[in-house]
Structure 1
Amino acid sequence: MAPQRRRPALPSLGGRKPNFREKVVDVLRAALISGELRPGQVYSAPALAPRLGVSATPVREAMLELVKEGMVEIVPNKGFRVTEVSDKQLDEYTHVRSLIEIPVTVGLATTAEPADVEALRPEAMEIVTSATKGDLIAYVEADLRFHLGLLALAGNDHLVEVVRDLRQRSRLYGLTALVEAGRLEASAQEHLELLDALLARDPERTREVMTRHLGHVRGLWAAH
Structure 2
Amino acid sequence: MEQGRPHSAVSRPHTGVPAQATPSARGEHTHDESEYAYAPGARPAPRVPQRYSVRGQVLDALRKALVSGELVPGEVYSGPALGERFGVSATPVREAMQQLALEGAVEVVPNRGFRVTSRTERDHAELAEVRALLEVPALLRVARAVPAARWRELRPLAERTAAVAAEGDRAAYAEADRAFHRALLELTGNRQLVIVAEELHRRSQCPGVVTGGLAAHAAEHLRLLDALEAGDLAGAEALATRHCAGPA
| Mapped contact 1:29–1:168 kept (Cα < 8 A) | no
**What are the equivalent positions in structure 2 for 1:126-145 lying under 5 Å apart?**
126-145=160-179
Q: Counterparts of 1:35 and 1:208 in 2: how far apart (Å)?
A: 30
Q: Secondary structure at the match of 2:119?
A: coil
Q: Secondary structure at the match of 2:244?
A: helix
Q: Counterparts of 2:15 and 2:242 in 1: how far apart (Å)?
A: 39
Q: Does 1:187 align with 2:227?
A: no
* Alignment correspondent of 1:43: 77
Residues 210, 9 of structure 1: alpha-carbon distance in 2 compared, 3 angstrom cutoff: farther
The number of residue pairs the alignment matches comes to 207
AA partner of residue 76 (structure 2): V
Question: TM-score under structure 2 normalisation?
Answer: 0.68
* Alignment correspondent of 1:60: 94
Q: Secondary structure at the match of 1:111?
A: coil
Mind listing any 5+ residue stretches in structure 1 that lack a counterpart?
Answer: 1-6
* Alignment correspondent of 2:158: 124
Q: Does 1:173 align with 2:239?
A: no
Q: Does 1:94 align with 2:150?
A: no
Q: Counterparts of 2:201 and 2:235 in 1: how far apart (Å)?
A: 24
More helix by share: 1
| Mapped contact 1:31–1:137 kept (Cα < 8 A) | yes
Bigger shift: 85-94 or 14-23?
14-23
Q: Counterparts of 1:101 and 1:90 in 2: how far apart (Å)?
A: 16
> How far apart are 1:138 and its partner, in Å?
0.9
| Mapped contact 2:162–2:219 kept (Cα < 8 A) | yes
| Mapped contact 2:118–2:207 kept (Cα < 8 A) | no
| Mapped contact 1:127–1:142 kept (Cα < 8 A) | yes
Q: Does 1:199 align with 2:233?
A: no
> How far apart are 1:194 and its partner, in Å?
1.6
**Deviation string for 1:123-144 (max 9, x for gaps)?**
3233222221121111111111
* Alignment correspondent of 1:13: 14
Mind listing any 5+ residue stretches in structure 2 that lack a counterpart?
Answer: 1-7, 18-50
| Mapped contact 2:119–2:208 kept (Cα < 8 A) | no
Q: Counterparts of 2:226 and 2:87 in 1: how far apart (Å)?
A: 41
Q: Counterparts of 1:104 and 1:69 in 2: how far apart (Å)?
A: 23
Percent identical among aligned pairs is: 43
| Mapped contact 2:73–2:208 kept (Cα < 8 A) | no
CA RMSD of aligned residues (A): 3.1
